[in-house]
Amino acid sequence: MPGRNTNSADNVFMISLCLGLALLIVSVTGQCGNPPDYPDVIMVTQPPLDFVEGLTITYACQIGYVRKSGSTTITCTNSQWSHLTLVCERRSCGSPGEILNGRFNTDEGVLFGDKAYAVCDEGFQLVGNGVRNCLAAGWDGDIPRCEIVKCPDPPSIVNGEITNRPQGTVTFGTSITYKCTKGILVGNRELVCTKYGNYSSAPPACKDHKGCPSVQVENGHKTAGLGPVYNYGDFIAFACNPGYILNGTDTVTCGVNETWEPELPTCQKVTPTTTTTTTITTTTEVPPTPSPGNVFNHY
Ligand SMILES: *[C@@H]1O[C@H](CO)[C@@H](O)[C@H](O)[C@H]1NC(C)=O
Ligand SMILES: *[C@@H]1O[C@H](CO)[C@@H](O)[C@H](O)[C@H]1NC(C)=O
Ligand SMILES: *[C@@H]1O[C@H](CO)[C@@H](O)[C@H](O)[C@H]1NC(C)=O
């Protein structure tokens, strides 16, 4: 029995010795320091208290980043951490989506952290959020809509009507045409619904028009538009009689104000060029030299 006891005690001693030696060896040769910090990656493994020989630590890419290449682990070998070869890159969110009558401006890019801006075609306006962010889970928000611009109902006019009154709302690009049931139309006959949601101009007016008076030009005659009745828009062409030259425009038109536009020309007698003398009129005893009549100054 004492032999057994001794034997048992010896075994315990031997095991303790071996364990002690083993621990000593491990603590001397098999321990790594703190694993290094790497940018753009995070440590996935819950770090143990001791970084012992053979331990493997796993890394992953930061949020919004994905693995491009390399291994995600490092190992403690001969008291040294192996080099982390993991390379991460920003994730791509892909296309932010299609917009009817618009598009996304992705000049910034479609990677994590980038923004896509919705742009509507001319004559369309944005409904919804115009910006989408590329987040770790993909594009945030929803695809906005581009709605056609609307104009208010076209205005009615006195003594006139719309010849093509549209059914329902007037939208961008639609044109509205007016006509007068009485009088003459002054202004723009056609209005277009613009991208701003207003009309291209004020509506026309229907104005009473009694016509223009028949007119003559002294020392001239009509070559067209002999009359005698002249309505809005009618014209008269004039020519001067021999020996006279026309001053002004040879054609006038019956305007909205029942007058001829532009003003009537005149026919002026052709005269030989005469030299003019400057006469100084003063309150002196010397009587002023009488100047010849009908003298033109030519500059
Ligand atoms: C329509 O609206 C735009 C923008 O507000 C403005 O610049 C333009 O002058 C307007 N047009 C008319 C005919 O009022
Ligand atoms: C032509 O008529 C205008 C306006 O009536 C007048 O001012 C101008 O002197 C005339 N020109 C000539 C060369 O007579
Ligand atoms: C017509 O008369 C109106 C009001 O008097 C005036 O504002 C307009 O300038 C005139 N138009 C022409 C072409 O003479």
pLDDT per residue as tens digits for the range 52-68 = 888 888 899 999 999 99
State if residue 13 touches ligand 1 by the CB under 6 angstroms criterion: no
Domain that holds residue 83: 29-90
**What's residue 21's pLDDT?**
40
pLDDT band at 274 (very low <50, low <70, confident <90, very high): low
User: Does 290 map to a domain?
Assistant: no
Write the residue with the smallest CA distance to atom 14 of ligand 3. Answer: 257
If one counts every other C-beta atom within 10 angstroms of the C-beta of residue 145, the result is 16
The ligand minimizing its distance to the Cα of 297 is 2
pLDDT, averaged across the chain: 83
**What's residue 253's pLDDT?**
95
DSSP string, 170-217: EETT-EEEEEESSSEEES-SEEEB-TTSSBSSPPPEEE----B-----
**What's residue 155's pLDDT?**
94
CA nearest to 217, candidates 196, 188, 237, 192: 237
Write the residue with the smallest CA distance to atom 1 of ligand 3. Answer: 257
State if residue 152 touches ligand 1 by the CB under 6 angstroms criterion: no
The ligand minimizing its distance to the Cα of 202 is 1
Write the residue with the smallest CA distance to atom 10 of ligand 3. Answer: 257
CB 54 within 8 A of CB 77: yes
Residues 232 and 262 in one domain: yes
Which residues form the pocket of ligand 3, taking CB atoms under 6 Å from any ligand atom? 255-257, 261
**What's residue 287's pLDDT?**
43
DSSP single-letter state for residue 52: B
Cis peptide before 262 (omega within 30 of 0): yes
Across 146-164, average pLDDT: 96
**What's residue 32's pLDDT?**
87
- Residue 269 scores a pLDDT above 80: yes
Please say which residue of 148, 163, 182 terminates a domain. Answer: 148
- Residue 238 scores a pLDDT above 50: yes
If one counts every other C-beta atom within 10 angstroms of the C-beta of residue 47, the result is 11
User: Does 293 map to a domain?
Assistant: no
Q: What is the chain's percent helix, strand, coil content, to nearest 5?
A: 10, 35, 55
CATH number for 106: 2.10.70
Separation between Cα atoms, residue 169 and residue 173, nearest integer Å:
12
User: Does 123 map to a domain?
Assistant: yes
User: Does 233 map to a domain?
Assistant: yes
pLDDT band at 166 (very low <50, low <70, confident <90, very high): confident
Separation between Cα atoms, residue 36 and residue 106, nearest integer Å:
37
Q: Tell me how many domains the chain contains.
A: 4
User: Does 8 map to a domain?
Assistant: no
The ligand minimizing its distance to the Cα of 207 is 3
User: Does 212 map to a domain?
Assistant: no
User: Does 73 map to a domain?
Assistant: yes
Counting beta carbons within 10 angstroms of the beta carbon of residue 163, is it exposed (0 to 12), middle (13 to 18) or buried (19 or more)?
A: exposed
State if residue 259 touches ligand 2 by the CB under 6 angstroms criterion: no
- Residue 74 scores a pLDDT above 50: yes
Q: Which DSSP helix (H) or strand (E) runs through 102? A: strand 102-105
CA nearest to 80, candidates 30, 127, 128, 38: 30
Q: pLDDT exceeding 90 applies to what percent of the chain?
A: 65
CATH number for 78: 2.10.70.10
- Residue 235 scores a pLDDT above 50: yes
Residues 226 and 254 in one domain: yes
Identify residue 21 by its one-letter amino acid code: L
Residues 144 and 109 in one domain: yes
- Note if the pTM is more than 0.75: no
State if residue 7 touches ligand 1 by the CB under 6 angstroms criterion: no
User: Does 282 map to a domain?
Assistant: no
Q: Which DSSP helix (H) or strand (E) runs through 7? A: helix 2-29
Pocket test for ligand 2, best of 240, 246, 247 (most atoms within 8 A of CB): 247
Separation of CA 261 and ligand 2 centre (Å): 17
Separation of CA 146 and ligand 1 centre (Å): 21
Of residues 255 and 10, the one with the higher pLDDT is 255
Residue 21 backbone dihedrals phi, psi, to 5 degrees:
-65, -45
